Amino acid sequence: MAATETLTAERILEATEEVLRRYGPGKATVVDVARVLGVSHGSVYRHFRTKAALREAVTERWLERTIVALTPYLEAEGPADWRLTGWLTALFALKRKKAGGDPELMATFQVLIGENSAVVDRHEEHLVEQITRILEDGHREGLFAAPERDFATTARAVFDATDRFHNPAHAAEWSSPGAEDAFAAVVSLVQRALRS
Amino acid sequence: MAATETLTAERILEATEEVLRRYGPGKATVVDVARVLGVSHGSVYRHFRTKAALREAVTERWLERTIVALTPYLEAEGPADWRLTGWLTALFALKRKKAGGDPELMATFQVLIGENSAVVDRHEEHLVEQITRILEDGHREGLFAAPERDFATTARAVFDATDRFHNPAHAAEWSSPGAEDAFAAVVSLVQRALRS
DNA sequence: GGACTGACAGATATTGAAATCTGTCATCGC
DNA sequence: GCGATGACAGATTTCAATATCTGTCAGTCC
């Protein structure tokens, strides 16, 4: 289909996502991707050195979307403590929606996550950076006390403390009845810890 | 071997642990367990209705050992904040030692955990109860502020916030260089949140 | 009489041959 | 010249036949 268009990395990534969505991580093959694009699988290898590299790129794109979706909460107007709760809640809601809306897709995503821990590490660093900025703002506003060591360490601690509510490994627990309350309790705990 | 001794649930559980250790969760069979005990597999079914029930009992025993190992930290002398840090550190150290000492056994354990979420839930409740008691002590001692809702909710929040450092799902991350510091940062965050 | 056995049916796992996939590269066509 | 192709070798996956396992129960043994 659309064999007239130029074959770009972007188009290959879109096709790969479609194939992953349709067949799952176990059955998705490079040949499938090529078939969707109406090209030979050799052409795919012109843009991505290996199947692993292709899957890594898909993972990166996928995670990038979370970052983009969270930026509004990062740049919102209002006091930093309120923005932090908003940001954390948005992160939880985003992940939960993804997990609840299409559990199979989430399982696929989880497999990719497991395959590409380096990409995930970089992604986590980005998220922690976002938290760091809110903490710095909060300190400037006089809402948050000075951090015990530095903002980045505290931000990482906030990220780790809320891990259960954004790490896909825990996706199965997010649909249980108490999840919402448990999340609120941890956020409340974190806010208490930060308050000056 | 030792076919003279009476066949008890206890002996079957020990043999099952041995078989799980040796063959892993995928290959361990009831027939193997019976062979270790020198009995027919029919005899095993006299004590455990199904293979699943047998594995559940092993899981329960395994988790019970953590509870027992932590009791000294729960009942130690000293201020509650210090005891809380000690208890959390002991929990982390315990899990980490298990994971680091024998990764394969940990993987086996993880599979059992996944199979028996009901047992795990009960176990988590026990651990949260232990935290609750320390929080109550701390409040009585004037070290911890009154909880936002109740002690049990806050205790669950403390448990959830430190999840990354005791949940076996995260075992792979515990050997990374920053783990110790990340743990300390989260504990410090939690302590700040509780302080009155 | 009550703990234990072992043969059995149906379910699950293993195995090895055949099919498919990954990654390369000499060749094609524009 | 440059992107695309498709045949190929070696690695991986599938599939169906074969073997093993789970759970039951009538019967054995002390």
Q: Where residue A90 sits, what CATH number does that domain have? A: 1.10.357.10
What are the pLDDT digits (tens) for B144-154? 999 999 999 99
Amino acid at A98: K
Mean per-residue pLDDT for A70-98?
96
**Look-up of token digits 């601690």:** A157
Mean per-residue pLDDT for B12-30?
97
Mean per-residue pLDDT for A150-163?
98
Q: What's the CA A30/C1' C22 distance, rounded, in angstroms?
A: 8
A132 and A186, same domain (yes or no): yes
Q: Is there a domain that residue B2 lies in?
A: no
What are the pLDDT digits (tens) for A164-178? 999 999 999 999 999
What residue numbers bound the domain in which A81 lies?
Answer: 52-194
C-alpha A93/C-alpha A165 separation (Å) is 9
Set of chain A residues whose Cβ sits within 8 Å of the Cβ of B149: 185
Q: What is the CATH number of the domain that holds A24?
A: 1.10.10.60
Measured in whole angstroms, the distance separating CA A124 from the mean position of its chain's CA atoms is 8
A105 to A94, B52, B113: CA distances (angstroms):
14, 29, 24
A123 and A144, same domain (yes or no): yes
A120 and A81, same domain (yes or no): yes
Split into its structural domains, chain A has a count of 2
A120 and A145, same domain (yes or no): yes
Contact B156 A193 (CB under 8 A): no
Q: Is there a domain that residue B110 lies in?
A: yes
C-alpha B79/C-alpha B144 separation (Å) is 10
pLDDT at A5 over 80: no
B72 and B30, same domain (yes or no): no
Q: Is there a domain that residue B86 lies in?
A: yes
Q: Are B171 and B104 in contact (CB under 8 A)?
A: no
B90 and B135, same domain (yes or no): yes
**Look-up of token digits 């809320």:** A162
pLDDT at B174 over 70: yes
A75 and A32, same domain (yes or no): no
C-alpha B126/C-alpha A14 separation (Å) is 47
C-alpha A87/C-alpha B28 separation (Å) is 46
Contact A157 B181 (CB under 8 A): no
B43 and B67, same domain (yes or no): no
A64 and A154, same domain (yes or no): yes
When scoring A189, A190, A191, A195 by the number of chain B Cβ atoms within 10 A, the one with the most, hence best to mutate, is A189
Least confident range of A33-47, A71-85, B3-17, B80-94: B3-17
Give the percent of chain A with pLDDT over 70. Answer: 98
Burial B152-175 (b: 16+ CB within 10 A, else e): bbbbbbbbbbbbbbbbbebbebbe
Please report the pLDDT score of residue B3 as a whole number.
39
C-alpha B45/C-alpha B18 separation (Å) is 18
Mean model confidence pLDDT for chain A: 95
pLDDT at A1 over 50: no
Q: How many CB atoms lie within 10 A of CB B148?
A: 15
Please report the pLDDT score of residue A2 as a whole number.
39
B29 and B104, same domain (yes or no): no
Q: Is there a domain that residue B3 lies in?
A: no
With bands split at pLDDT 50, 70 and 90, how would you rate the model's confidence at A196?
A: confident
Q: Which nucleotide is nearest to B49 (CA to C1')?
A: D23
* Chain D bases closer than 7 A to any CB of the protein: 3-7, 14, 20-26
With bands split at pLDDT 50, 70 and 90, how would you rate the model's confidence at B37?
A: very high
Q: Is there a domain that residue B4 lies in?
A: no
When scoring B115, B149, B164 by the number of chain A Cβ atoms within 10 A, the one with the most, hence best to mutate, is B164
What are the pLDDT digits (tens) for B50-63? 999 999 999 999 99
Mean per-residue pLDDT for B9-36?
97
What are the pLDDT digits (tens) for B131-168? 999 999 999 999 999 999 999 999 999 999 999 999 99
A164 and A70, same domain (yes or no): yes
A16 and A65, same domain (yes or no): no
Interface of B with A in 160-179 (CB under 8 A): 160-165, 167, 169-170
C-alpha A54/C-alpha A56 separation (Å) is 5
Please report the pLDDT score of residue B4 as a whole number.
57
Q: Is there a domain that residue A22 lies in?
A: yes
Q: Is there a domain that residue B99 lies in?
A: yes
Mean per-residue pLDDT for B52-79?
96
Q: How many CB atoms lie within 10 A of CB B76?
A: 13
Residue in chain B closest to A121 (alpha carbons) equals B173
